[in-house]
Amino acid sequence: MATNENLPPNVIKQLAKELKNLDETPPEGIKVLVNDDDFSTIFADIEGPAGTPYENGIFRMKLLLSHDFPQSPPKGYFLTKIFHPNIATNGEICVNTLKKDWNPSLGLRHVLLVVRCLLIEPFPESALNEQAGKMLLENYEEYARHARLYTGIHAVKPKPKFKTGAISECTTALNVDQKNVVSNGKVLPHPTPLTTNTASKVSAINGQDQNAVVPAMEPAIGTSAIEKKEGAVTAKVQVDKKKMDARKKSLKRL
């Protein structure tokens, strides 16, 4: 397992400074993952550039620094599968910056930017993936279709997760005192839930459902009270009838 001990102290110091700068001001579309215990392996997540077959993808790569870095260039590999002329099936990256055009004065920022630019403008003439290189030269649409397919399968961005904190805050705000409601400094009793009949009556009155059938209102008095009232009315009718019969008899006598 590689550690910072494999690198000279002056290189470690320079790398620490550069990695801090990359973390604070990352290049566009690139996020560097820093491991303070091992500067010899640098990981980075590269966003697929817009307008390319790699758009909407996230590609992870790594740079391996040798013990004589920066005299020797780092070796670059894509860990995410990608269909690209200059990236081999094992992930190895072929770019002149990491080979014949290497300069010890070049920093990690420059290397990462060159790799991302490679996704925008491939070089099929120096292809490590011959199929991708040939396809790019002869039939770009077919090449782009393959590249998009790889991107959709292997490099899809993770879906954002819901913020549970925000949901908890909303829940807390909604779960106010269920027993009392404060209005204008006064504590009012919590409103009782509408019954089916009450809700139907209110809905019909407000015109919310013109076709709704409003259930019959519940009697305000009990059944026994109604029966007593009906009995009293019947008794009165019988008394009045007796009085009428008595008057008729009197008239006959006259």
What one-letter code names the amino acid at 141?
E
Alpha carbon distance 127, 130 (integer Å): 6
Secondary structure (3-state) at 247: helix
DSSP 165-229: HHHHHHHHHH---SSEEEETTEEEEPPPPPPHHHHHHHHHHTTS-TTPPPPPPPPSS-HHHHHHH
Alpha carbon distance 23, 20 (integer Å): 5
Nearest-CA neighbor of 190 among 175, 200, 203, 201?
175
> What is the arrangement of strands in the sheet containing 30-33, beginning at the earlier edge strand?
30-33, 41-47, 58-64, 75-78
Using an 8 Å Cβ cutoff, are 129 and 26 in contact?
Answer: no
Report angle CA 83, 131, 116 to the nearest 5 degrees: 35
- Which residues are part of the catalytic machinery? 94
